[in-house]
Structure 1
Amino acid sequence: MNSFLKHALPRFARLNPSVEITVSPRPRKHPIIRGTYINGREKVICVKNLQKEQILEKAHLLRDASGEKLRRVTKPVQSINESVRGIWSPYHGAVHTI
């Protein structure tokens, strides 16, 4: 974590001026990085025993996230109106013989 603070964090801050970075000590606790988003949500990632490259990846993950909760998508396409023809089923309609 110390090598990340000394070497990688200044460059990350320079490349991302829209991101506010604060460093606060946490004595006798695991190091974390915390992302606070405009919508009021907060994401915390523990970076215990990670190398500076791995911590930088986690910082990029927090930077690129929207802050929204992850939710499962049941249907990949959402539509206001259902299909006009309905859902196809092999058990309905004309019988085909081969």
Structure 2
Amino acid sequence: MTVKALRAVAQGHNGLGAFVLQCKKMDVHYCDWAGSSKGMNNFIKSVLPKFAAANPKSNSPSLHGPASTPSSSDTTSTLELLRDASGEKLKRTNKAVTSTSASVRGIWSPYHGTGMVV
């Protein structure tokens, strides 16, 4: 009698390979009657239902009371920016390239080494 191996694929249980949306809830502040919230009211009436239907995993924005707001397109771009964010805290960088190790050559300066005669 021969022994056969089980034909099963290992299942990961640590969430690796599954995308977890970082943005769970968005709060939007607006005013019902003021002219400064004209763009937000337009966004709520026309764009918000489409945005909520396109992003079912995140709760639709919870809407709050008085605040001055940008236009409807600015609100849409801000919500998309928040939706697509990684969730990592923003850090200010002073250099264009961030590296874990220092440069092998060191810092270049025109005052090091032999100068060129002009």
TM-score range, shorter chain: 0.5 to 0.7
RMSD: 2.4
Distance 2:96 2:43 in 1: 39
> If the length of structure 2 is used for normalisation, what is the TM-score?
0.51
Moved more, 63-72 or 5-14: 63-72
Q: What secondary structure, in the 3-state scheme, does the structure 1 residue paired with 2:42 have?
A: helix
1:55 maps to which of 50, 65, 75: 75
The amino acid across from 1:75 in the alignment is K
Identity of aligned residues (%): 44
Q: Deviations over 1:43-95 (max 9, x none)?
A: xxxxx253333322222222223344433211222223322222222112123
Hey, which of these two has a bigger chunk of strand by percent? Answer: 1
Distance 1:25 1:79 in 2: 42
Shift of 1:11: 0.5
After superposition, where does 1:26-65 map in structure 2 within 5 Å?
26=65, 29-30=66-67, 48-65=68-85
Higher gyration radius (CA): 2
Question: Greater relative contact order (Cα 8 A, min sep 6): structure 1 or 2?
Answer: 2
Paired residue for 2:86?
Answer: 66
Mind listing any 5+ residue stretches in structure 2 that lack a counterpart?
A: 1-39
Indicate yes or no: 2:47 matched with 1:8. yes
